Amino acid sequence: MTALTRRCFGMLAGAGVASLAAPSFLRAQGAPHVVIVGGGAGGATAARYIAKDAGEAINVTLIEANPQYTTCFFSNLYLGGFRSFASITHGYDTLAANYGITVVNARATAIDRQARAVRLADGSRVAYDRLIVAPGIDLIYDSVPGYSEDATGIMPHAWKAGPQTQLLKSRLDALEDGQQIVIVPPPNPYRCPPAPYERASVFAHVLKAKGHTGSRIIILDPKPKFSKQALFSEGWEKYYPGMIEWYGPDVHGGIKGVDPAAGTVETDFDTFHGALVNVIPAQRAGRIARDAGLADDSGYCPIDPASMRSMMDENIFVLGDAAIAGDMPKSAFAANSQAKVAAMNVRGDLIESKVFPARYANTCWSLIETDDSVKVGAQYAPTAEKIASTSSFISQTHEASEVRKTNYEESLGWYAGITADIFGA
C-alpha cells in the first residue's frame, strides 16, 4: 500500500495535480483507497461525499480527463443567452483544497480488474480498493449514416458541453432571417430526455428575439413521442406559432442519413436542408466502462439497484449516464442522487460505516421561454429487478404564468444547489 501510494504521489506530481492536502495525505497512508474515474455530476459528487463523510479513513483519488467541467445542464440556457459560458463552467480546486481529494487531471485508458488498478494515458497505474466508474456517455456517431466525429465541426451535436456548445451558439447567432435549423434528436435511451426539445425552444427564443419571422426549426425525430410533449407543444404554439415543426417517424418514415457538406438530412419522406443542423446521435456508456467489460449488450452497465454496485465486479460501482438505472432518466440530478448511494456503500465496504436503505430522486426543469419553465420529477426505490419509480409528478398544461415563473426561479436555485453539492462550496 505504502509503496503504491508513493508511486502514486510521484506520478501525480508529474500529471498536474490541482492541489494535494499533504498533511492528511501523510497521515492517511494506511487507509483504503477509492478511485473515481470521471469527475462529472456523478463522479465528483461521489468523491466529495466519500471524502466528506469518511475524513482521513479513506483516501480518495478523482481521475478526470478535463481540467474544467462545463455542465450540459443549463447549456441550453447558455445557447439561449440566459447564462454565460463561465457561469456553467466549474473547476476542481475546492474538492482538492477543502476535502483533501487527490484530483488527477488525466485520461484513464484501462481498468485492470484482476490487479485492481486503473491505467492512465501516460502509462502509470493507480491502485484501488474500490473503484467508481462514472464516465458519462459516448456518442455513436455512425448511428446516423453519414455523421462522424469529423462532421461535428459542421453539424455540432453539443451533447457533451464545451467547445461543441460554443460552436453551436456561434452558428446559431450567425443565422440570418429565413434560414432553417434542423434538429435530429437521438433514439432512447439517451442523456436528458427533455433536452432536445428545450434546445428547440431556446433556438426559437433566439430567432424570435432577433425578429427572424421567416426562420423555421424542423425536428426530425426517430421517436414517435417525447418527454413533456404536451407541455412543449403547448408552449411552442403559444410563444413561437408556426416556427417549430416536429415530425415523428410516422411522417418522415425514418432517418436515412446526413450529408454534412451539403447541410442536408435525408428521410424516407423528403430531404431537409438546414443552415444549421444539430445532430444528436445514439449513445452508450463511456468507453472505459465498456472496455473493462462492465457493460452488457445494451451498451450500458448493469448495477445492483440497492447499491449501484456493478453486476460484473463487486469492487466496482457504476453510476450516472453509464449505468442502467431502471426507471431513472439519465440526468445530472439522477447521477448526483445515485452517487450518494454508491458513496455510502463504498464507505460501508471499506470502513464498515452504517449503510442505510437506498433512496433515489430526480427532477428536471425545462425552459420553454423567458420565465416559463416546466418540470417533471420522481422518487425511486430499489426492487429486485431495477430502480423503480415510487411516485412522480409533472407540470400541467394551462398553468398560471406565476407558477411557471416560480419554476424558473426554482431551477436557478437547483443549479446553484447541485453544483455546490457536486464541486463543493
Partner 1 sequence: MLWGRGLSGFLFAMVAAAAASAAPPEPEHGNRERGKTVFEACNGCHQVGAGARHGIGPHLDALFGRRAGSLDGFRYSSAMRRRGKDGLVWDAATLDRYLQKPRRMVPGTRMSFRGLSDKRAREDLIAYLKAATASAPASNPSAPSPPRPEIGGAAMAIEGDAAYGEYLAGECVTCHQRSGRTDGIPSIVGWPREAFIRALFEYKSNVRRHQVMSMMTANLGNEEIAALAAFFSGLDPQ
Alpha-carbon distances of 19 from 99, 101, 113, 316, rounded to whole Å: 11, 9, 28, 26
Estimate the crossing angle of helix 401-423 against helix 332-351, to 10 degrees: 30
Q: Which of 104, 340, 372, 387 binds partner 1 (CB under 8 A)?
A: 340
Sign of CA dihedral 44, 45, 50, 52: positive
Burial (Cβ within 10 Å: 0-12, 13-18, ≥19) of residue 242: exposed
375, 382, 386, 400: which one binds partner 1 (CB under 8 A): 375
Q: Are 373 and 403 in contact (CB under 8 A)?
A: no
| 407 lies in the binding site for ligand FAD (CB under 6 A) | no
From ligand FAD, partner 1, none, interface partner of 175 (C-beta below 5 to 8 A by class):
none
Angle between helices 195-209 and 229-239 (to 10 degrees): 0
Smallest gap, in angstroms, from Cβ of residue 139 to ligand FAD? 11
Query: Minimum distance from CB of 144 to partner 1 (Å)?
Result: 34
**Contact status: 80 vs ligand FAD (CB under 6 A):** no
User: Binding of ligand FAD at residue 72 (CB under 6 A)?
Assistant: yes
136 near ligand FAD (CB under 6 A): yes
111 binds ligand FAD (CB under 6 A): no
Q: What is the DSSP string of 198-267?
A: HHHHHHHHHHHHTT-TT-EEEEE-SSSS-TTHHHHHHHHHHHSTTTEEEE-HHHH--EEEEETTTTEEEE
- Per CB under 6 A, does 201 bind ligand FAD? no
State the nearest-atom distance from the C-beta of 96 to ligand FAD, in Å. Answer: 16
In the complex with partner 1, the residue whose CB is nearer, 234 or 421, is 421
Question: Can residue 108 be called a binding residue for ligand FAD (CB under 6 A)?
Answer: yes
Please calculate the CA angle 88-93-94 and round it to the nearest 5 degrees. Answer: 90
Q: Tell me if 288 contacts ligand FAD by CB under 6 A.
A: yes
Quick check: 286 binds ligand FAD (CB under 6 A)? yes
Residues in contact with ligand FAD by the rule CB under 6 A: 37-43, 63-66, 69, 72-73, 75-76, 107-108, 134-136, 159, 191-192, 195, 286, 288, 320-322, 330-333, 335, 364
